[in-house]
Structure 1
Amino acid sequence: MKRILLAALCLAAVHGNALAADSSLAAVKAKGKLVLGLDDSFPPMGFRNDDNQIVGYDIDLARDVARRLGVELVPQPIDWNAKEQELNTGKIDCIWNGFTITDERKQAMAFTQPYLRNAQVVVVKKGSPYSTLASLKGKKVGLQAGSSAAGALEAATAFRGSLAQVVEFKDNLTALMDLEARGVDAVVMDLIVAEDNIKRSGKAYRVLQESLAPEVFGVGFRKNDLALRDAVQGALQAMAADGTLAKVTTKWFGKDISVVGKK
């Protein structure tokens, strides 16, 4: 019994020391800013407007969270293909940009609970003959390098194996431009981003009804930055409770599709 009690006390001490060593929230408050890493060409989550200012749904959410934490929000554009490195070297405090929660990413970093649902879909030109994933057999498909679209495509082994070529682009907008120029036959990307681009651009694109994978968005932090993660999660829950989250979500999507605090 004494050995069991001693072991329990040791574990508690180790856990307590780990929590005490987590100065992530204190560090953000001390410097007075929350540095958010993003791909600044990812509308409607985060992108540059006509005045070259970084705006978007995630930016509005993060700015309100930062206000509740008593700090300034600093959006920091990064190379999305090197996002984990940017985070782990301390150049940014979090990744908040339509960031899909996956089992692989959860091994490398700490996530908030999901705040939005999404899916990986295939976008084609409106007048094209493609209507299913199978109809793209032998065709060329584009996607953003390092994105969850790449992971979803690799997981869809039968579809991936049927394609003639997969072309990686720096961002989704470049991929869609190549689709318009008929450089690729289709683009795999986030449903939310695809729908927003079609609405904003007026381009003749359409989304195939058959999706690759459902997913959820969360905010990513360094693995041990649990104090900061929990503070951001708490702020999001407060925003859901007081109606701010619904207001911001409706502003960007026309209705409240957020999932914080909902079953």
Structure 2
Amino acid sequence: MKKIKNIVLGITLGVLAFSLVSCGNNKSKEANTLEKDKLVLGFDDTFVPMGFKDENGEYVGFDIELAKAVGEKLGKEITFQPIDWSMKETELNNGNIDFIWNGYSVTEERKEKVAFSDVYLDNRQVIITLADADINSKKDLANKVVGAQNQSSAVDAIEKEPEVLSTFKDGSIVTFDTNNDAFMDLEAGRLDAIVADEILAKYYIKQRGEEKYKVLAEDFGKESYAIGMRKKDEALVDAINKAIDELIEEGKATEISIKWFGEDIVVK
């Protein structure tokens, strides 16, 4: 009996020791994101002009170029990983990506899930219709079919104005996997209006033909873009902020902004 007790005690101590080592390794792994040689950036590869796939299959855009410049500052290789935008925070907190960096709007709800960098761009949630639509204000959206990207800040912004949302057809928003899908449905007449980031809308409209669309004077509010990271990655947040500050001071951020927007819109 004594021998059996000793065996059981030995197994128990072994399991406990293994658990402690595993926990220690996990904590070490969790704390060392900044020590990785490669950092994975998660993004929606249809979100023009922030991060998207061009006609040659290359990932391009303002955020892509800014991330590469930050990577050089940090001495890290940045790997670009397209993700399902509706799963972005899950991908981040499961460790599949290290940043959410793709026109990622700062909201109170998101602050509960991620740690944000400093703001680097400002934005609005604008209302887009076809040029000949009889929609000129929010009140004209009554009984209209309104679309937006699923799990986007556009949806959040609309939901903050329930008195307007309730007037939409069926009192709801039609959501899409990508903004591109929403624009296609607008052009096909299946939507009456879209709510989307102004930065995306301006670029998209310029590419598709400015004569086709109308952007209303009224909007669903202003917001800001920042980079989302895991809450435990405080050192990474600090390093990213420092790198972007240096790129702003050196004029590199301005150069990238002028390339993609025709003007310097980086928040100083």
TM-score (norm 2): 0.86
Q: Does 2:125 align with 1:117?
A: no
The counterpart of 1:36, out of the listed 41, 55, 61, is: 41
Q: Does 2:241 align with 1:241?
A: no
Report if the CA contact (8 A) 1:142-1:186 is conserved. Answer: yes
Q: Does 2:174 align with 1:173?
A: no
> Which whole-Å deviations, capped at 9, do the CAs of 1:47-75 have from their partners, x for residues lacking one?
11001111100000000001111111111
Moved more, 245-254 or 21-30: 21-30
**What letter matches 2:144 in structure 1?**
K
Matches within 5 A, 1:1-263: 26-30=32-36, 32-165=37-170, 166-202=173-209, 204-259=212-267, 262=268
Q: 1:205: Cα distance to partner?
A: 1.3
Give secondary structure in 2 for the equivalent of 1:162. Answer: coil
> Which whole-Å deviations, capped at 9, do the CAs of 1:58-94 have from their partners, x for residues lacking one?
0000000011111111110000001111001100001
Return the alpha-carbon distance in structure 2 between the equivalents of residues 232 and 103 of structure 1.
Answer: 21
CA separation of 1:244 and 1:23: change in aligned 2, threshold 3 A? farther
Query: What is the aligned partner in structure 1 of residue 23 from structure 2?
Result: none
Give secondary structure in 2 for the equivalent of 1:232. Answer: helix
**What letter matches 1:225 in structure 2?**
D
Return the alpha-carbon distance in structure 1 between the equivalents of residues 51 and 143 of structure 2.
Answer: 34
Q: 1:200: Cα distance to partner?
A: 1.1
> Which whole-Å deviations, capped at 9, do the CAs of 1:128-183 have from their partners, x for residues lacking one?
11110101101110110000001001001111011014211001000000000000
CA separation of 1:22 and 1:66: change in aligned 2, threshold 3 A? farther
Report if the CA contact (8 A) 2:31-2:232 is conserved. Answer: no
**What letter matches 2:85 in structure 1?**
W
**What letter matches 1:121 in structure 2?**
V
Q: 1:26: Cα distance to partner?
A: 4.0
Return the alpha-carbon distance in structure 2 between the equivalents of residues 22 and 71 of structure 1.
Answer: 19
Return the alpha-carbon distance in structure 1 between the equivalents of residues 227 and 254 of structure 2.
Answer: 18
CA separation of 1:22 and 1:164: change in aligned 2, threshold 3 A? farther
**What letter matches 2:135 in structure 1?**
Y
Return the alpha-carbon distance in structure 1 between the equivalents of residues 28 and 61 of structure 2.
Answer: 30
Q: 1:28: Cα distance to partner?
A: 4.2
Structure 1, unmatched stretches of 5+, are: 1-20
TM-score (norm 1): 0.88
Q: 1:223: Cα distance to partner?
A: 1.1
Report if the CA contact (8 A) 1:39-1:46 is conserved. Answer: yes
Q: 1:22: Cα distance to partner?
A: 7.8
Structure 2, unmatched stretches of 5+, are: 1-26
